[in-house]
Each structure stands twice: as C-alpha cells, then as structure tokens.
Amino acid sequence: MTEPKTQLQKIIKATGVSFRLHDLRRTFGTHAAQQGMERQAISRALNHSKQDVTESYIQGTVDLIRPVFDAVAKVYYQYFDEDLKRYLFEPESYAAAEIEHLQHLKDTGQQQGTPTW
C-alpha cells in the first residue's frame, strides 16, 4: 500500500468517523503516554527524527520499541472480546481455561464449538 487515501475513505465511510492518518499517530502517542511509556520510547515508536546527538547513537531496535506497541495494544484490545484479549496477553491462563473447557465438553458428551473470534 503506497497511497492509503482509498483505504482511509473506506474506513471513514464504514465507521462514520472522519479522521486523518496523523490523528492515529496522535492517538497512539497519547495512549502510550497514558500507559506510562517513556517519551523517548514513544518518539522512537513514532519514528520521529532524533532530537540530540546522543539520541542519534541509540538505534531504534524492535526490542526498544516493542514495549510501547504492547502497551498500546493492550489498551486497544479492550474493544475486543475478552477471550481474544486473554489468548493474546495471558496465554498460559487461556490455555488452562481452554483445557478445562474441553474436558468439561468431553465429560458431558457435548461437541466442541468454533471460537467466536
């Protein structure tokens, strides 16, 4: 995707919410700050240009910015199904609950259903 205007217009039409791509960057930065992420990490995640000489020596590796994206993702996942959120952020807990559920289905002779997500 080199020019996102068409996709952006489809999203605006589907949601009824008018916004620009830069609004998404502001929202991301705001949510990252609300989750306690450091300003420098947010700046790297947003791919802002370096502010000083020291900053130019620090490479923005995935390991440095991943915590910012993870923190923001947790905020965004509040809009999704609780099972999906647990599956993504609490895999051990989700797996244990799923095993328990499958055992219950087996014990009661019920068929396994398809996940809603």
Q: What is the mean pLDDT of residues 18-25?
A: 91
Residues 6+ apart with CB under 8 A from 5: none
Q: How many helices (H) and strands (E) does the chain have?
A: 7, 0
Q: How confident is the model at residue 117, as a pLDDT? A: 43
DSSP 115: P
Q: How confident is the model at residue 62, as a pLDDT? A: 76
* Cα–Cα nearest to 21, from 7, 40, 35: 7
Q: Flag whether pLDDT at 34 surpasses 90.
A: yes
Q: Where are the alpha helices (DSSP H) in 16-81?
A: 21-34, 39-45, 53-57, 62-76
3-class secondary structure, 20: coil
Q: What is the residue extent of each domain of the chain?
A: 17-79, 81-110
pTM for the model stands at: 0.58
State the pLDDT confidence band at 29, using cuts at 50, 70 and 90.
Answer: very high
